[in-house]
Structure 1
Amino acid sequence: MTATLPLRRWQGDRGTYHLVQFEGSDAEALAMHARLHRLEFGKQRGFGSVKVTARIGDTEWKSSVFPQDKQSEWILLVSKKVMRAEDLAEDDRVTVTLTL
């Protein structure tokens, strides 16, 4: 799945995080994958997450996406290492490819 999304900043108790948020049909596909995983293995991963391989530009990494708002939105955190490697800043539109 590939989507072009705005890079957002979120200030948490333990620091600042950057993330992209999947919605619509992409979120539905992630939710379906999570449900199928739960049916196949009889349990869900921590926080209902789904393991993915993510790519932005030339940078690829293993991560997880996390459901928000009853799985109608999914969050992918983008690390500082990826931000530096791809010269990204808050509000940039980034093309993200996820492999489930």
Structure 2
Amino acid sequence: MAESEYAFTAELWEWESQASWYFVSLPEAIADDVDAFHGHRAAGFGSVRVKVTVGATRWATSIFPDKGRATYVLPVKKSVRIAENLTPGKPVEVSLEIA
């Protein structure tokens, strides 16, 4: 039976282009599991819908495959970063459920 709930700690990082985006990379073992059991449900850009909890904040979003990092990345929006006092380089405890 495929897992649909995961918990992990990973560092928040910033990707800069014309706008700054903030992400947490899923651990490789979890990313492999998501790809194997849920990748067939992927939508545009290979995205997989998820429900996420960080601290007291819960929201729905998608994770996206990042071929360069060989994992999925989870975008962390500004309201979550502010509410949970998250800054780049800081570890983030994440609970993630495949939606």
Say whether residues 1:23 and 2:27 are aligned partners: yes
2:3 aligned residue: none
Distance 1:61 1:4 in 2: 17
Q: Give the Å deviation of 1:22.
A: 1.0
Map 1:10-89 onto structure 2 (within 5 A).
10-13=15-18, 15-32=19-36, 33-35=38-40, 37=41, 44-69=42-67, 72-89=70-87
1:18-57: CA deviation from partner (whole Å, max 9, x where unpaired): 100113210111112112x2xxxxxx41001100001100
Question: 8 Å contact 2:8–2:27 — kept in the other structure?
Answer: no
Question: 8 Å contact 1:5–1:93 — kept in the other structure?
Answer: yes
Unaligned runs of 5+ in 2: 1-5
Structure 2 letter corresponding to 1:34:
G
- Of all paired residues, the percent bearing the same amino acid is 30
Normalised by the length of structure 1, the TM-score is 0.85
Distance 2:68 2:48 in 1: 14
Q: Which has the larger radius of gyration?
A: 1
Structure 2 letter corresponding to 1:29:
D
Question: 8 Å contact 1:23–1:72 — kept in the other structure?
Answer: no
Structure 2 letter corresponding to 1:25:
A
- What is the root-mean-square deviation in Å for CA atoms of aligned residues? 1.6
Structure 2 letter corresponding to 1:12:
S
